[in-house]
């Protein structure tokens, strides 16, 4: 069968969902509750930043952008999961699967690049405090965000092309809740080592490159903090970075396990768990981390919620 015929007739079946109606309803309610919490938490952060003029700084501009990206990121996946969980035939078309992966990977990559930008922002604030406002101008902040979004979707476009240009003749059962790269890649036939390396290198562009930039930024931050003599000033500098470091650890921990491993070591159950943690846990915990560990955000939220 030709490559075109293999893909043209294909509808994927998402087989990770439970078969029993009681379990399906329980899954629907659990995911729905988490999704509503994610929407509420990130929207609260956005409204707090919008209303409180004290938060009109580059740091909170990037935080607000991160919240927007994560709202879009979860909304590209969760509504489909909720709908599919209650359907008798849990299927998704080839085109919808392709579009879903493009949005999911693109927005997830934007997350990684934004975390690198936020690390650079903290580096400038701590290492060059007197020149900070001159360096981190509004124009530069917008350019950095635009670069993050463009880079994220360029990585996604490349990755999706590498996966979906292959023929799908070996099966159509995706052992997952949505169209993620590892389980879809398992279904491709005539997959070569060159294409596996291409997928791996593309994933590295979205994960390793931003992570290296974050490490470099924090190397400069560590040197600058060690040179601060005042204990209070040193603790304040560390506290401004603690929330960001927690987010980085959560984001890159899941990403590395999911995408930086050879396809031969693919484990459906492990991938499903990590994907749900990554898809639901990170957007859920980010606003909680920033609201609990950031004095200015807590103050803005207290003023917002009587």
Q: What is the pLDDT of residues 213-256, one digit of tens each?
A: 999 999 999 999 888 888 887 888 787 788 788 888 888 877 77
Q: Calculate the average pLDDT of the chain.
A: 83
Check residues 301 and 227 and name the one with the higher pLDDT: 227
- Residue ranges and CATH numbers for the domains of the chain are 17-167+174-304 (1.20.1070.10)
* Spatial separation of the C-alpha atoms in residues 148 and 154, rounded to whole Å: 10
The answer to whether 12 and 164 are in contact (CB under 8 A) is no
81-117 residue pLDDT tens: 898 888 888 888 888 999 999 999 999 899 999 999 9
* Spatial separation of the C-alpha atoms in residues 160 and 25, rounded to whole Å: 32
Tokens of 87: 């359907």
Cite the DSSP H helix spans in the chain: 3-8, 21-51, 58-75, 78-85, 94-127, 132-135, 138-164, 181-185, 193-226, 231-259, 268-276, 282-293, 295-304
* 261 has a pLDDT exceeding 50: yes
* 1 has a pLDDT exceeding 50: no
158-167 residue pLDDT tens: 989 888 887 7
pLDDT of 286: 81
Q: What percent of the chain has pLDDT over 90?
A: 31
Which is nearest to 115 in space by CA: 208, 226, 41?
A: 208
Residue 263 confidence class, pLDDT cut points 50, 70, 90: low
pLDDT of 238: 80
Q: Name the CA radius of gyration of the chain, rounded.
A: 21
Q: Compute the average pLDDT of residues 118-133.
A: 92
Check residues 263 and 47 and name the one with the higher pLDDT: 47
Q: How many CA atoms lie within 13 A of 290 on its CB side?
A: 27
* 287 has a pLDDT exceeding 90: no
Residue 296 confidence class, pLDDT cut points 50, 70, 90: confident
DSSP 227: T
Which is nearest to 145 in space by CA: 121, 171, 169, 161?
A: 121
Check residues 84 and 19 and name the one with the higher pLDDT: 84
pLDDT of 216: 95
């Amino acid at each position: 069968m030709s490559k075109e015929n293999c893909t043209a007739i294909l509808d994927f079946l998402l087989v990770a969902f439970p078969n029993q109606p009681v379990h399906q309803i329980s899954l629907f309610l659990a995911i729905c509750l988490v999704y509503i919490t994610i929407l509420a938490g990130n929207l609260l952060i956005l409204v707090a930043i919008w209303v409180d003029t004290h938060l009109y700084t580059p740091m909170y501009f990037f935080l607000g952008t991160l919240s927007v990206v994560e709202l879009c990121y979860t909304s590209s996946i969760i509504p489909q999961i909720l709908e599919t969980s209650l359907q008798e035939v849990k299927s998704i078309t080839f085109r919808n699967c392709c579009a879903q992966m493009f949005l999911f990977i693109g927005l997830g990559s934007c997350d990684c690049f934004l975390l690198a930008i936020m690390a650079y922002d903290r580096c400038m604030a701590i290492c060059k405090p007197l020149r900070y406002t001159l360096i981190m101008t509004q124009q530069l902040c917008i350019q950095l965000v635009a670069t993050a979004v463009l880079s994220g979707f360029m990585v996604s476009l490349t990755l999706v092309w590498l996966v979906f240009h292959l023929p799908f003749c070996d099966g159509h059962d995706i052992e997952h809740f949505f169209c993620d790269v590892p389980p879809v890649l398992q279904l491709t036939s005539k997959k070569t080592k060159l294409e596996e390396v291409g997928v791996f290198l593309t994933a590295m562009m979205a994960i390793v490159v931003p992570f290296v930039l974050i490490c470099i930024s924090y190397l400069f931050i560590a040197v600058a903090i060690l040179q601060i003599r005042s204990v209070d000033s040193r603790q304040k500098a560390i506290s401004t970075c603690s929330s960001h470091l927690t987010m980085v650890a959560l984001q890159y921990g899941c990403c590395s396990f999911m995408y930086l491993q050879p396809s031969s070591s693919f484990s459906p159950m492990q991938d499903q768990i990590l994907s749900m943690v990554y898809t639901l846990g990170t957007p859920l915990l980010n606003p909680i981390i920033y609201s609990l560990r950031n004095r200015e955000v807590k103050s803005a939220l207290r003023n917002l919620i009587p």
